[in-house]
Amino acid sequence: MIFIVTSKTSLKRVVVSSSEIEGVKIALLEDDQLVEVYFEEADEESIASSIYLGKVENVVPNLQAAFVNIGEGKNAFLREKDLCIPRPRNGKTMKIEMLKPKQKILVQVKKDAMGLKGPQVTSYISIAGRYLVFMPQVANIGVSKKIEDQSERRRLYDIAKSISKGEGLIVRTVAEGISAEKLEEELQNLRKRWDEIQKTFKRSRKAKVIDEDTGILDYIFREKIDGTVDEIIVDKRKIHEKIVEVVGTFKLKHQPMIRLVDGDAFRDFGIEKQIIDSLSRIVKLPSGGILYFDPTEALLVIDVNTGSDTSGSDSEDLILKTNIESAKEIPRQLRLRNESGVIVIDFIDMKNESERQLVTHVFEEELKKDKVKNSIGGFTNFGLFEMTRKRISPPLRDFYKVKCPVCGGEGQILSPYRLFKNLMHDFENFKEKDIGEIEVHAPLTLKIYITDEVVRSAELLTKTKIKIFFDYPFNNKYDVKYRKKFYNKKS
């Protein structure tokens, strides 16, 4: 069987929903299928990309890093490679060792705090506009790889080089077709912003934010509203008016329709249901195949399964079809779930190299839709497919889930029989103690094991009365209480 992999133009929508309780929620849809979702909680905002006056708390040469107080609770983590100062001439001293406690330093947040870790920062500052990313401390000029037309790439590179004054510039994808005058105008505004940041840093002493990223709406304007979006749907009039005003200033090849709707847009367009579905460990594929997503502390493991018997004559066709469907679906799931770090995919074994190349090609084409930086390692000698995806913000599951209080996030608990055996072992230990009465609170799952005969035997063993209550709320534990014997002293 020959598989022809084709691509089609999708209907792209951006849905914006807002409430006082939940804050702002934004979804990106392709043919009504959810591909990305963003949150700005009413009581918790991201500080990624914000610029701070930091104070060095301590330097740890062994970690090649320093901890910096930025006035946000947890100290920020600054790695040596993110420190923008010249390397010492002697070649022995590390750059990080040149920092001193309480020293002022200008830093920008690369990653939000996550779990016990504080935010990660860099002293290489970059200021993003709509068309350009301005990097005042370096001199590199670059053009987005997503602009594939070579003549346009050359035109934009030449413009960037001519308007730069030794600063670094990255020309963004949405700058395609934009005039030199428009690019220079934005660069002037970015320079003014940088001047204000430097002035504030020089006259300030305390750790504080100097330049805040403007929030999720402005991020979406800057990063997601390009000439490929067909429609923007909004459920609040005030936000609708702002979007109409801002998007109207964009020079887009294809201007999106902006529509105000009544009610809850996330609910009415089925987005909440798609979010809940995306939190599942299991994803079903059209041909009957199944994807299993298993995040660990070190990496994300994705297992691909046909979901049916593969011993028949058409098994090779089914395997290839399932792998191709997986290569299309996994990149969408990574965007939607916002997974990052090391990702290992166990595709179903393929017998020849041409099939592996086809699956890799499909995977790479789908990844082009993802604006988050990624790197593909490809198939290893053991047939596993490796890649990495840059972490920008916490995964979607962190917004919706907490660790299970029963299993502690392991996904497994002791079997009822093993729990029963542990309880019997505790009774063995009690026989040597001077105990008056034992009270056991056990989960209902142990009732089939703790019979009246078992209780009588345990009472004979411990030489005391035992009361059993099947009311413990968790299936992986029990609670044992006991009273020591009370003796009346004779005079």
- What tokens were used for 343? 């990702």
Alpha-carbon distances of 72 from 16, 46, 57, 99, rounded to whole Å: 29, 11, 13, 21
Would the pLDDT of 16 be above 80? yes
Residue among 15, 11, 10, 9 at smallest CA distance from 258: 15
The long-range contacts involving 290-294, CB below 8 angstroms and separated by at least 24 positions, are 291/326, 291/329, 291/330, 291/333, 293/333, 293/337, 293/339
12-45+215-272 folds as: Nucleotidyltransferase; domain 5 (3.30.420)
Question: For the chain, which residues make up each domain, given as ranges?
Answer: 12-45+215-272, 279-400, 416-484
Alpha-carbon distances of 200 from 116, 135, 194, 197, rounded to whole Å: 31, 18, 10, 5
Q: Which amino acid is at 316?
A: E
Task: Give the model's confidence band at 214: pLDDT under 50 very low, under 70 low, under 90 confident, else very high.
Answer: low
Same fold, 12-45+215-272 and 416-484: no
Task: Give the model's confidence band at 3: pLDDT under 50 very low, under 70 low, under 90 confident, else very high.
Answer: very low
Would the pLDDT of 2 be above 80? no
Task: Give the model's confidence band at 454: pLDDT under 50 very low, under 70 low, under 90 confident, else very high.
Answer: very high
Residue among 372, 369, 269, 383 at smallest CA distance from 329: 369
The domain defined by 416-484 carries CATH number 3.40.50.300: no
Q: Which amino acid is at 94?
A: M
Question: What pLDDT digit, counting tens, does each position of 143-180 carry?
Answer: 998 898 999 999 999 999 999 999 999 999 889 889 99
In sequence order, the 6+-apart residues with CB closer than 8 A to the CB of 103 are 55, 56
Residue indicated by tokens 């059993």: 468
Q: What's residue 161's pLDDT?
A: 95
Would the pLDDT of 5 be above 70? no
- What tokens were used for 175? 């700058």
Would the pLDDT of 299 be above 50? yes
| R_g of the chain computed on alpha carbons | 30
Q: In whole angstroms, what is the distance from residue 18 CA to residue 459 CA?
A: 62
Task: Give the model's confidence band at 44: pLDDT under 50 very low, under 70 low, under 90 confident, else very high.
Answer: low
